[in-house]
Each structure stands twice: as C-alpha cells, then as structure tokens.
Homo-oligomer: A and B are copies of this chain.
Amino acid sequence: MAAKAPFKRSAMKLHARKLKVALIQKQYSHDSASNIAANSEAIHDAAHSGAKLVILPELHNSQYFCQTENIKCFDIAETIPGPSTRLYGHLARKLKIVLVCSLFEKRATGLYHNTAVALDKDGSIAGRYRKMHIPDDPGYYEKFYFTPGDLGFKPIKTSVGNLGVMVCWDQWYPEAARLMALAGADMLIYPTAIGWNSHDKPDEQDRQMDAWTTIQRSHAIANGLHVLSVNRTGTERATASKSKIDFWGSSFVAGPQGELIARAIASKEETLIAELDLDRSETVRRAWPFLRDRRIDEYNGLDRRFLT
C-alpha cells in the first residue's frame, strides 16, 4: 500500500478544520465534592488554553467504586439530566466548550448504566452513550453495577463534530469502533479507568498497557479517525477489601493512521492538550480506502457468539 500524494486542496478551502482538545487525566479521592471542584478547575484551565473539546475520565466524580460489590454505592448514581449535567452543563456554557462527562446513571429504581454525556457549548445535553460492553473481573465488578447499554453505537452530534463516544471496556472491541465510524463519527473518544493489579509483574504490566494503547490505535487505523483516550491516574484502595488499583494514566491522542500525537505520563495528573487536524481523515481514507473494500456480503457471522 503506497501513500498517494493528494491533490492540493488549499485553493478550495479557506480554513483547515482544526480542533484543540483537552484530555483531563486526574487522580480522584473519596470526597466527591473535591473531585468535582478539581475537575472544574482543570476544565477552566483547559478552556483558557484554547481547548474547544474537553474530556474527563470514566466516572470522574468519585473513586472507581467497582473494585468491590457494595450495594451502598448505588447511592451515588444520579439521573440524566440531573445534578452533574446541570453543573457541568453550566461550565460548558460559561466556557463555550463541548464537554464529555462520564456518569453513573440512575435510569430507574434498580436500573443503572455507565453513561457518557456530551454537553454542548450552550450547556445543553447533546446526547448520551450508555456503555455497551461491561467488564467483570477481579477489581472491576462492573456487571454488578451497570446494565449493558441499549442505545447502540451512535455518535453524539455536537457543535465540534460527531463524537464517537464509548467507554473503557468498549475500547477492546473493533466492532464498536467500526459501528461508530459507519454511523458517521468524526473521531473516537474513550473515557476510561484502567490500571494495574499490584500482583502483576512488570513484564505483564508492560504488555497490558501496550495492548491497551495498541488496540485503540488500531481503531484509528482501521477507521481513519482520531482516537482520544482519557484515563485516570494514581492508586485507589478499596475501603472494604485489600484490593487496590494503580491507574496507569497515559491518556493519549492518536491520529487517523494510529500515530501518537500526544501522550500523558503514567503516574501523575496532566491535562493533555492536542490540536486535531480533522481534514486528515479525508486524506488518510483516500490513501487507505478500507471502507471501500469491506466484504459486507461475508460479515454475517459477526453477530454470532461463535461459529463452531
């Protein structure tokens, strides 16, 4: 596959479609009020740096409560619209930014989702995405808390583009990224909360973080889209058990060929600012026309559990 030199488009367009984004990588405490205050401060700083799209990590109002199965944790769930969409919507309007939040949604009594919400620059709820793939492994007991989403893989239309927002475990599924791309996403966005178990040896830790980066970069490549992945950082200890997670930070922005455009460090808070050139998708999809050649006549097994 050779890259082809595209025709110069400069005569045809006056403005490149650039978008400055901010990925807020934070460490969270047991105190929700202070988490929200810290998020608010970071959002202000990001907006003052010129970011027009600001993204917070998964479930950013609290510590990652899924380390244990604790029925009291449902107390922190909230409706959408609700207190958080009001608070963060106010910020989005005040700062004239699009803000992607990640909330523990109470949909009905006994029915909860892990939900991302995009708030537009007028403060309105542009749309929501309910996490579709729900993990469950030691320290990540999400199947206890979250019903799998039922809204499908639909980009959220905002004033800065169609946002292919998904959440954490979704990032391991090429099907999810592809469906977002086919539905017209301009970029893929993953708020996430992922880290190391202290029992893992360094080589296993390296493989895990590298795999996490690689699979998300591959979604950029397969679909010719930018990928924005926002993780939390720092160590969180579960109060009711000996469990702890070292969240590995390393939030990143990849371009439409999977190239790393910006990357945060692993172990500290950081607001990662990057400028996306949204016209790159056009150039890359012309040179690598993967969408042209999909064998849709032969993909019917993908909606089966297994084929043997």
Name A's B-contacting residues (CB within 8 A): 1-5, 132-135, 137-140, 148, 152-153, 169, 172-176, 178-179, 182-184, 194-197, 199-200, 204, 207-208, 210-212, 214-215, 217-219, 221-222, 245, 257-259, 287-291, 293-308
Q: Of B176, B179, B222, which contacts A215 at CB under 8 A?
A: B222
Are A305's CB and B301's CB within 8 A? no
* Residues of chain B with a CB closer than 8 A to A3's CB: 197, 199-200, 204, 208
- Contacts A174-B222, A221-B214; is A137 near B287 (CB within 8 Å)? yes
| Chain B residue, CB-CB nearest to A292 | B136
A206 to B: closest C-beta gap in Å: 8
Q: Of B173, B214, B303, which contacts A300 at CB under 8 A?
A: B303
Are B5's CB and A293's CB within 8 A? no
Are B306's CB and A303's CB within 8 A? no
* Residues of chain B with a CB closer than 8 A to A305's CB: 182, 291, 294, 296
Are A221's CB and B172's CB within 8 A? yes
* Residues of chain B with a CB closer than 8 A to A290's CB: 172-173
Instruction: Identify 10 new A-B residue pairs, CB closer than 8 A, beyond the known A3-B204, A169-B293, A182-B302.
Output: A2-B199, A152-B298, A175-B302, A179-B301, A183-B301, A183-B308, A208-B257, A215-B218, A296-B303, A299-B303
Q: Of B137, B212, B257, B294, which contacts A175 at CB under 8 A?
A: B294
In the bound complex, CA of A306 to CA of B184 (Å)? 8
